[in-house]
Amino acid sequence: MTREPLKDSFGRVHTYLRVSVTDRCNFRCVYCMPAEGLSWKPRDSLLRYEEVGRLVRIFAEMGVTKVRLTGGEPTIRSDFAQLVGALGQIEGLRDIAMTTNGHTLARLAPTLAKAGLTRVNISIDTLDDEGFTQITRGGRLARVLEGIEAAVDAGLTPVKLNAVLLRGDNDDQLVPLVEYAAARAPAVELRFIEYMPFEARWHKSVRSGELRERLAAHY
């Protein structure tokens, strides 16, 4: 079955869909949420996997070919590979990607790749152990690094690393992150993304122009 293409008010046809499968996360990153966490949605208010599959199938009939699964942290939903496998059976869907913090990826990457996942974006803001624990409020850097390597080995490439640099917190990680990714190119790509404040700006961003100047001076 085909439906009318998915168009916005400017007449642009869209072929890319993002699906948030949960609002929960196993990190408490300082730029994302308060230390005590948030008031999570009741589990029965989240879309069941069958409902996600039905919606994605409808969007695929409207011309969507790429889907990204996000959260919160999507991998904390039980039997997450089951959802990936169901989406992989949808006709016309060519790309199933995921944005994750990578904390459980060393264990899950082979299973998710086999189920039909094609790519991953992994959040990593520092290569300093202590700094990583402080920013994530409890995450372990070694587990994320293992997850990156597992994703590469599973063929979920290019693995895209998302880094948020905050002035005075982790902006000293600019060159280490670049060199880490460069040593693993082209299987690994690094992108610096903007700190997005919500109601209040607790941290200071480092503008892209300054990042380019610092990289030019270093190299």
Q: How far is CA 55 from the centre of its chain?
A: 21
Instruction: Give the pLDDT confidence score for residue 150 in this predicted structure.
Output: 98
Name the token pair of 50. 């069958």
Length of the chain: 219
Instruction: Give the pLDDT confidence score for residue 199 in this predicted structure.
Output: 60
Q: How far is CA 209 from the centre of its chain?
A: 24
**pLDDT tens, residue by residue, 34-53:** 777 777 778 888 899 999 99
Q: Helix or strand or coil: residue 90?
A: coil
Three-class HEC string of 168-214 = CCCHHHHHHHHHHHHCCCCCEEEEECCCCCCCCCCCCECCHHHHHHH
Name the token pair of 97. 């990607």
Residues 6+ apart with CB under 8 A from 43: none
Instruction: Give the pLDDT confidence score for residue 33 in this predicted structure.
Output: 79
Identify whether the C-beta of residue 151 lies closer than 8 Å to the C-beta of residue 120: yes
**Cα–Cα distance, 65 to 60 (Å, whole number):** 6
Instruction: Give the pLDDT confidence score for residue 3 in this predicted structure.
Output: 85
Question: Is this model's pTM higher than 0.85 or not?
Answer: yes
Residues 6+ apart with CB under 8 A from 56: 17, 19, 64, 67, 87, 90, 93
Q: State how far the alpha carbon of 208 is from the alpha carbons of 10, 65, 140, 180, in Å.
A: 29, 31, 27, 19
Q: How many CA atoms lie within 13 A of 14 on its CB side?
A: 11
**pLDDT tens, residue by residue, 97-107:** 999 999 999 99
Instruction: Give the pLDDT confidence score for residue 198 in this predicted structure.
Output: 59
- The ranges of the chain with pLDDT < 50 are none
Amino acid at 132: F
Helices (H), the chain: 49-61, 80-87, 105-115, 129-136, 141-153, 174-182, 208-218
